[in-house]
Structure 1
Amino acid sequence: MLARALSATAAVALLFTAGCRQDMHDQPKFIPQRGTTFFADGRSVRPQVENTVGRNQLHEDSYFYTGFSGGKEGDAMPFPVTMEVLKRGQERYNIYCTPCHSRVGNGAGMIVQRGYAQAGNFHTARLEAAPLGHFFNVISNGYGAMPDYSAQVTPVDRWAIVAYIKALQLSQHATAADVPVGAHVEPLSFIAEQEGLPANFVAEWTVPATAVTGTPDDQPFVLPGTGSATVGTTSAKTPTPAAKVTTPATTETAAPRQ
């Protein structure tokens, strides 16, 4: 009885197998990057109609999408910088930039400490003098060992990061005159102690010995023609304790000054 049931099942399966055809597989269709005899030029992919632009590809404001104006890196933001823009820039910076450049932008991020190529220090004379468009260009297209982040970070967020980088640079030159009237200032060392941070938290910024540079003289890589600095030159400044500004409504902690 069992053998008869198995035989019937096999017969049904054979019937369905015999009914299978290759119509779906062999149907006329265009396969990307393959030729065809349907069109006279032999191409299956048709060229765009002249003067058409794909959706979201117009990029009419070329400076917003490139950071270049008149063939040179521009030095202006394409939109007003508000506190919301800076907060967004800080968020994106902390996600994508700190692994290499660190939270304070000194180029000694965690993966640099683990042996990755030395990242740029935003607090050198060369990068402090660099135009805004330079940072946007680097984020978009990469620089030296740094890959591009055009796929991960949208243009508007790239500009927000640029604004935050400039805010980081400005923070390293803050003086008592920049403190709001009535605000209380405390040394960073006192803040570190109160927060239970290690003593080296306020130590001088240094590049770890594990970092690699990829240059013959073990100095940061600088592309030629991008500024007065050349390969093998660095600019260092001695950090001074930053401050914690406390107002009745807000509390802000500044980064170590360099």
Structure 2
Amino acid sequence: MIDPRAIIDPSATVADDAEIGPWTIIGADVHIGSGTVVASHVVIKGPTTIGANNKIYQFSSVGEDTPDLKYQGEPTRLVIGDNNVIREGVTIHRGTVQDRGETIIGDNNLFMAYAHIGHDSVVGNHTIFVNNASVAGHVHVGDWAILAGYTLVHQFCSIGAHSFTGYGSHLSKDVPAYVTVNGQPAEPKTVNVEGLRRRGFSSEAITAIRRAYKVVYRQGLTTEEALVKLREMQQEHPEIGLLTESLEASTRGIVR
């Protein structure tokens, strides 16, 4: 299952049923799980752990050192879960000791061509990064978020669960859960209703989330004032809790 033209460091471990294509380089302290397929011309450097049933396409660079000038060669990590698709030319960097020391990718994510995940970022599950979507260092991306093509996210931002960024969005503030944003700089537009429907949210839950969105963005309230109302609303509609949590966790302030 390993092409003889691939170069595998002796300290790397590759599951027996994993596939490694020609002219791919697997570096030291790389661990590749069962069923993962790595195409030709891929570079994977460690320390990196890649789980099961991932597909990594040609010319991707996975687990490379960060270009952050603070990085001085410390043994930081990249951890990738299961069932991810990493398309052509994607770049994913390891962490830095100034933060958590590792970059983390969850399960069932799709990273389309030339997407970039910066050092110390944490990406959840079921996300989609469309072509050339890029997140700088220290970014957190919640479950089911979709970053449209050419989205650019500033370091230390958080992208909430079930959110959606429009094509070419520039983000320097946090995006709350469920919110669709667009523009340069990005501005809130509406709730990601179509995404919620596809994921099985009930009509009642979506209506409650839309009311919660209006509390945050249509009533002229401060974030603190909006949070008071949201905490009351989520007692009847627990789905609102994700929005509440994303506002409470925001450190850069939310898009307005």
Question: Does the alignment reach a TM-score above 0.5?
Answer: no
The structure with the greater share of residues assigned to strand is: 2
| Structure of greater Rg | 1
TM-score (norm 2): 0.24
More helix by share: 1
Q: TM-score, normalised by structure 1?
A: 0.24
